[in-house]
Structure 1
């Protein structure tokens, strides 16, 4: 049994002023409704044909595109004429047919009468078709409400870059010198005695600029005709760049064309003596203690921590930690989720960090991003055979380098797993 959505009848259908024959309007309205239904079917057929041609040839044939546009115009015109008729009819003072509510139509249905008259109990399915076939049904006047804006996939917030020191470069290579040793022989000396000699050791290092890029093909018609398509494509491509950038900033292994990431160059976590957590392994409190130990490890290296990166699940376990009385250790559900922080440090909460892992340290002073090229989106019709196929190539790219100048100030480690 097919079930359909009930449609509400329009008040102007078949109405006339007192003393006038309502059949004239009723007949004309029926003709328009039938015509609209026919053109709606044709519009759907042309749309399917155009989609098939785009898939096969990259664009719809001129003949199909013209027919599709004509059908769209005729559907709009017919709908407007029917709307005008019903509005005129609604303003007339009398002759208006009875409009039954949904409940009234259900109780009038044959199935309902048989069910009620028989004194039966249980559930009875009422065919909506029997209800919507009433003379006052809107019929073919219902036109699909096309939502022109596509529903896009969700985007992950990018938060790691905000913790790092920003910079720019006009070169393809960042060259810097890192102090790797200091022999301090400073001492008090007697007058006339030889002064002690100290020694400072420097080690050269470099961070090459890397390119992150991708492209997509798109038909010229879709790019020009669909509202907002250009900005949607630009937004998705730039998001793709940012997504890969964040992965590279954290875990790039430095091989090939990859960045040398923060976790790759970081100092392994080792809790300073006396700072081992006594809480249950894997608990939120245990994670809080572990992060404090990592902060202290960074400070012992004389590089005070400026931020941390956590997985979303680990963050949730930490902020939901409670004491022995069931009270939240922090502000609980009423604390602000803006400007997240733990131990008074800005915290990037992101699925990019694997669950059970953390990165803590002097991120704002020990590492720096050098942007060579901000995200750029370029559209071209000259790529390969784009011109003869009426296609476009949309390319997005960015160039940057990551210099980790003080690895001792960045701590990467794992939380204890639950026993």
Structure 2
């Protein structure tokens, strides 16, 4: 079989993978996704937001606990002062001090702490769901970049096959010209076509390298050097399965998509925050306690005025305790409470609109993915017949051209028709795959090409 006679087979079935595809360390899609999830800075930052929200929740929960603190003071004084032992004024230098503990327990504040704790809990859960949403976003970005490499490799395969076909045709034209069967113009025209096809191949190679660079950046690598991916065997003649109705996908997403869950929890957090602000209009009740004692260098033991009076005995004799119930009734606070309520109401309204916007975005994304997948599958199936017809036409034209019964123009037209059909099929195949993976992600299905 001559090289020219094998061109039809070459164009249809050869895939030029490039040397990177044969690396022993070539990565599967799942490997790339996991690497991106481990290295993504945005995900790490979101993890810190989750930690911060958790700390805020713990702080809110602790706000219902009592406050207990101790205090101690030691003073060195000189000059005119009051002697608290007999309440007379004296002018002297002396030392004194006090020590004690005090505490406060909130009893009622219009359920403000309870609502604030609920708000913090929902905010923590919202940030956690937001983290899962970012993981899905990174997953689909990596999947898209991975498929872009495979797509560009298949385009490169077609470009290589086309260049080889054109080069073989040029050699034949030169033979025809030597035999006097073809004009010099046709030979020069074919040389120009070889140059154009070589330029297309170089551009296709650059596209493959650019796709690798995009994936390397998603994996947070310094460059694409040494990065290689495995071509899944499932892409060799893929079966394009049926896809689930978008209404069912959306219904599933409403209950399971982390982006929607995050927006719903944020709304609950804002509504609870609004309730907490409104509770600020209610009276608050707290229980307070104090245990206190003091000592002084001027201290005198009333039972034995001439004896020394150690600080330890003074502390024991001067012990004082107090318990009280405090009631605070807000009357006027320069409209600060009202302002905080209005701000909380606006934040709740904004969260409600954000939830509606998220649901709309998810629904539209599902609809677009479903529509694009249907169109891609229909186009792929249509090109199967087009490739068969174009291949038969190319083979017949090739035989006529070899026998001198067809012109180089006819040969090139038949070749271009076959190549265009292949390019359309490649594009529709990868378009279907990425759209199907988007739908799989909304259905919480694992993303794989195996």
Note whether the superposition's TM-score is higher than 0.5.
no
More helix by share: 2
Give the TM-score, by structure 2 length. Answer: 0.19
Higher-RCO chain (CA-CA 8 Å, sequence separation at least 6): 2
Larger radius of gyration: 2
